[in-house]
């Protein structure tokens, strides 16, 4: 029985991972956690468009990536825009390139497909979606790349990520559908790096602080290290935002 044809939706609120301390051992696939900008690529209604995780149209700053999606049928891809520096994805290098309007180092790692040839795939199992995704991404050239996964115990990939100083891994239930409000189907396990890191900036949400930008003192210089969540409740976050702290 063929699936019913569906109209291609607009922006889809992305599924987000839940933070955990240990990688699951069964029933999940595991991917490297990228340090970049979450992006959703829409192909098939006019020229390809790229949206941020909050639904903003960023096709222009990512126009080189959008132009690489030379596909005719309607499709929606979920993934991450990154810049690789010294062997791993680097958020500060990506920000620097965006500020200068450079796109030659930008890559798009596709890790999910939500819509394909008039079929909404969000109800399909994760592993099924990955198989369909690979078939399509194999037809394309860089800067579009397929995000490889490891099946089984995620501890092996986590250990490799820690040794390479990657941010961590994301584990996804192999049989789970894609849910914008999903809980526990996607898990993120971060590699722990101890140290003192001064706050150099922050990411706003409507009423508080969504995340912090951290630096690290190297000699007389302050070097950007990355972005982290605050762990604050909405109430605490709002109070800090309203405080006299010079944000």
Same domain, 60 and 80: yes
Same domain, 84 and 178: yes
pLDDT truncated to tens, each residue of the chain (247 aa)?
455 688 999 999 999 999 998 999 899 999 999 999 999 999 997 899 999 999 999 999 999 999 999 988 999 999 999 999 988 999 989 999 999 999 999 999 999 999 999 999 999 999 999 999 999 999 999 999 999 999 988 998 999 998 888 889 999 999 999 999 877 899 999 986 556 678 888 887 767 777 888 887 777 788 787 777 766 666 766 777 776 454 4
Alpha helices by DSSP H, the chain: 63-67, 91-100, 126-137, 155-163, 234-242
Q: Is residue 5 part of a domain?
A: no
For 45, the 3-state DSSP assignment is coil
User: Do 175 and 129 touch, CB atoms closer than 8 A?
Assistant: no
Same domain, 94 and 143: yes
H or E segment to which residue 113 belongs: strand 106-116
Q: Is residue 93 part of a domain?
A: yes
Same domain, 117 and 79: yes
Same domain, 81 and 26: yes
Burial class (CB in 10 A: 0-12, 13-18, 19+), 89: buried
Same domain, 206 and 109: no
Range of the domain at 50: 18-190
Number of domains in the chain: 2
Same domain, 179 and 206: no
As a whole number of angstroms, the distance between CA 41 and CA 51 comes to 7
DSSP assignment letter at 176? P
Kind of pairing between the strands at 186-190 and 18-20 = parallel
Token pair of 223, please? 């070097």
> Of the candidates 190, 208, 233, which is a domain's last residue?
190
Same domain, 153 and 91: yes
């Amino acid at each position: 029985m063929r699936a019913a044809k569906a109209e291609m939706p607009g922006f889809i609120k992305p599924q987000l991972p839940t933070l955990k301390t240990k990688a699951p051992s069964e029933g999940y696939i595991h991917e490297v956690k990228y340090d970049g900008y979450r992006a959703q690529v829409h192909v098939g209604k006019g020229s390809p468009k790229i949206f941020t995780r909050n639904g903003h149209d960023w096709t222009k700053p990512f126009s080189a990536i959008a132009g690489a999606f030379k596909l005719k049928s309607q499709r929606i891809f979920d993934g991450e825009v990154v810049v690789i520096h010294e062997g791993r994805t680097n958020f500060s290098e990506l920000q620097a390139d965006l500020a200068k309007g450079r796109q030659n180092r930008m890559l798009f790692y596709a890790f999910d497909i939500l819509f394909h040839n008039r079929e909404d795939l969000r109800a399909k199992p994760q592993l099924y979606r990955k198989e369909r995704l690979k078939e399509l991404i194999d037809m394309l050239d860089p800067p579009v790349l397929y995000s490889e996964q490891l099946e089984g115990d995620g501890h092996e990939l986590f250990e490799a990520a820690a040794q390479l100083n990657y941010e961590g891994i994301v584990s996804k239930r192999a049989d789970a559908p894609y849910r914008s409000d999903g809980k526990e189907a996607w898990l993120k396990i971060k590699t722990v790096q101890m140290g003192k890191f001064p706050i150099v900036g922050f990411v706003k949400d409507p009423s508080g602080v969504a995340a912090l930008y951290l630096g690290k003192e190297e000699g007389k210089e302050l070097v950007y290290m990355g972005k982290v969540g605050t762990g604050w409740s909405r109430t605490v976050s709002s109070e800090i935002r309203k405080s006299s702290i010079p944000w």
